Chains A and B, each alone.
Chain A
């Protein structure tokens, strides 16, 4: 008998379309898995069992009567608890939000519901998405380790089979970091491709919404449903007419940039080795590897800090003055310090970002995509604060996890993480693919090529 939990979203979707599988079976399987794992992992803020079963029955009937809505119809998904759902609280995993009720759906919620997806529940985030570990949630691959963050609950839920996909947000790696640490695919699209209307912000000019799932194909199906211009999000942009997320072509002749600097500094050897193997795998499929220098590498994190701390401080300016004691210590400290930053610091970071974006645009005239590690080290232990590097230096876990992801937030470029191999402890390693603005389809295309089984040498 078909075990729905073994199917990818695309496979489950095809089985539903062929009426070989019912959305009811999918929801039952997901709820059973949630019952088995949730007590230990704590991925969900809330699970709507009754509503999910009702939606599944309705989807089953609609599909039987020929009212099939597309590849998400009847598929159980989860939402990071930053996306508004009318009538439900958007907690942002914070006591500051006690008593909140969303009046309307976020753009992402509406898009998923239009596609017929079943929203099973909402998942934990590092408080207000301001952190890279999601300390209240555990990694289902090893519960003594962090799932990463800030979309840690979303990643954990998909990784243990509580949903077939989830939507997260990413301001400095918050989709890609947990996806990498939990062995999933995670995609931060080009800035402006997915509307953030109705989504609790962390830092407006860096925030992106994007999908997490088990395969690149699955992530593409979710992206197809949620992308598109939305006048309610001032950053929203209409993609070029040639934009086709489903474009399928070979990577033959594609120029894959391999960084000489920055992306392999202070990176664990098994992680670096996985990226080298991924590069060889692409080369074997006809891609051309091109060594490149990362421009303005020393200024990427300073620019991200200048933007993120100042914007987050502004988002929380009222609440931190009225309810500081309700915030967790780490977030409270950053927000209080952020209140004291002068405006000139923020403008300096914005102007630096302009220069960085220009130089990165030139970089992408030499290459089609850039291949890098997603994070410098696999999942840290729950009690671990720092990583020790070979040169004797130490780096905080959070600073390490954000370091290789943040450049794509500063530049707004699309960035995908795909699991590729494991380290010596059996923990998954993520490789990151970045592309030009609105070249999201090409990034996904390279991701699919990386997923292809390795040919014997």
Chain B
């Protein structure tokens, strides 16, 4: 499996995404946040090399008998 290519978002795209999520991001901070977000995505993208689709459960199971107890 290859690592997915992570394309950086522009400052404008970052600002638009933040707005859509209700995050009041200062426009002058948008380029820096775009860079940091790209760095985070790049680090985490290494995980695409792992065979998690074959070896890991697709989602966490919710135990209905445990009521609202998490995990």
Q: For the complex, would chain A's binding face be called helix, strand, loop or mixed by DSSP majority? A: helix
Known contacts A235-B71, A340-B17; A345 and B44 CB within 8 A of each other: yes
Q: Which of B11-63 contact A (CB under 8 A)?
A: 14, 17-18, 21-25, 29, 32-33, 36-37, 40-41, 43-52, 55-57, 59-60
Most chain B CB neighbours (cut-off 10 Å) among A303, A334, A340, A348 = A340
Neighbouring B residues of A347 by C-beta, 8 Å:
59
Q: How far is the CA of A299 from the CA of B45 in the complex (A)?
A: 10
Kindly identify which residue among B24, B37, B46, B56 contacts A337, using a CB–CB cutoff of 8 Å. B37
Neighbouring A residues of B50 by C-beta, 8 Å:
296, 299, 352, 355
Residue contact A337 to B23, C-beta cutoff 8 Å: no
Closest to A358 in B: B55
Known contacts A234-B70, A340-B18, A354-B56; A349 and B47 CB within 8 A of each other: yes
Instruction: Count residues on chain A whose CB falls below 8 Å from chain B CBs.
Output: 31
Residue contact B56 to A321, C-beta cutoff 8 Å: no
Kindly identify which residue among A298, A321, A349 contacts B44, using a CB–CB cutoff of 8 Å. A349
Neighbouring B residues of A305 by C-beta, 8 Å:
40, 43-44
Interface membership of chain A positions 301-326, coded 1 if the CB is closer than 8 angstroms to chain B and 0 otherwise = 11101100100000000001100100
Distance in angstroms from A311 CB to nearest chain B CB is 13
Known contacts A345-B41, A350-B60, A352-B50; A340 and B33 CB within 8 A of each other: yes
**Chain B: interface residue count, which band?**
20 to 34
Residue contact B25 to A336, C-beta cutoff 8 Å: yes
Residue contact B57 to A351, C-beta cutoff 8 Å: yes
Kindly identify which residue among A301, A334, A339 contacts B21, using a CB–CB cutoff of 8 Å. A339
Distance in angstroms from B52 CB to nearest chain A CB is 4
> Does A238 interact with chain B (Cβ within 8 Å)?
no
Neighbouring B residues of A296 by C-beta, 8 Å:
50
Kindly identify which residue among B32, B57, B70 contacts A333, using a CB–CB cutoff of 8 Å. B32
A-B residue pair count with CB separations less than 8 angstroms? 82
Closest to A336 in B: B33
Residue contact B29 to A336, C-beta cutoff 8 Å: yes
Known contacts A336-B29, A340-B14, A355-B52; A301 and B43 CB within 8 A of each other: yes
Residue contact B44 to A302, C-beta cutoff 8 Å: yes
Closest to A234 in B: B70
Residue contact A324 to B24, C-beta cutoff 8 Å: yes
Residue contact A309 to B23, C-beta cutoff 8 Å: no
Known contacts A336-B29, A337-B40, A355-B55; A234 and B69 CB within 8 A of each other: yes
> Does A7 interact with chain B (Cβ within 8 Å)?
no
Q: How far is the CA of A326 from the CA of B24 in the complex (A)?
A: 14
Distance in angstroms from B9 CB to nearest chain A CB is 8
Neighbouring A residues of B18 by C-beta, 8 Å:
336, 339-340
Distance in angstroms from B32 CB to nearest chain A CB is 7
Neighbouring A residues of B49 by C-beta, 8 Å:
298-299
Q: How far is the CA of A154 from the CA of B32 in the complex (A)?
A: 32
Known contacts A321-B23, A352-B50, A355-B56; A333 and B36 CB within 8 A of each other: yes
> Does A32 interact with chain B (Cβ within 8 Å)?
no
Known contacts A337-B37, A340-B18, A350-B60; A298 and B70 CB within 8 A of each other: no
Q: Which of A89-112 contact B (CB under 8 A)?
A: none
> Does A51 interact with chain B (Cβ within 8 Å)?
no
> Does A454 interact with chain B (Cβ within 8 Å)?
no
Neighbouring B residues of A345 by C-beta, 8 Å:
41, 44
Distance in angstroms from A290 CB to nearest chain B CB is 26
Neighbouring A residues of B60 by C-beta, 8 Å:
350
Q: How far is the CA of A420 from the CA of B55 in the complex (A)?
A: 40
Q: How far is the CA of A350 from the CA of B58 in the complex (A)?
A: 10
Closest to B71 in A: A234
Known contacts A234-B69, A354-B57; A337 and B47 CB within 8 A of each other: no
Given contacts A338-B40, A340-B17, 11 further A-B contacts (CB under 8 A): A298-B46, A298-B49, A302-B44, A321-B22, A336-B23, A337-B36, A340-B37, A349-B44, A350-B60, A351-B57, A355-B51
**Could you list 20 examples of A-B contacts with CB < 8 Å?**
A234-B71, A299-B46, A302-B43, A305-B43, A320-B23, A321-B23, A321-B24, A333-B29, A333-B36, A336-B33, A337-B36, A337-B37, A340-B17, A340-B37, A341-B37, A348-B47, A348-B52, A351-B57, A352-B56, A354-B56
- 3 cross-chain pairs, A with B, having the tightest CB-CB distances, nearest first: A351-B56, A302-B46, A337-B36
Using a CB–CB distance below 8 Å, which chain B residues touch chain A? 14, 17-18, 21-25, 29, 32-33, 36-37, 40-41, 43-52, 55-57, 59-60, 69-71
Using a CB–CB distance below 8 Å, which chain A residues touch chain B? 234-235, 296, 298-299, 301-303, 305-306, 309, 320-321, 324, 333-334, 336-341, 345, 347-352, 354-355
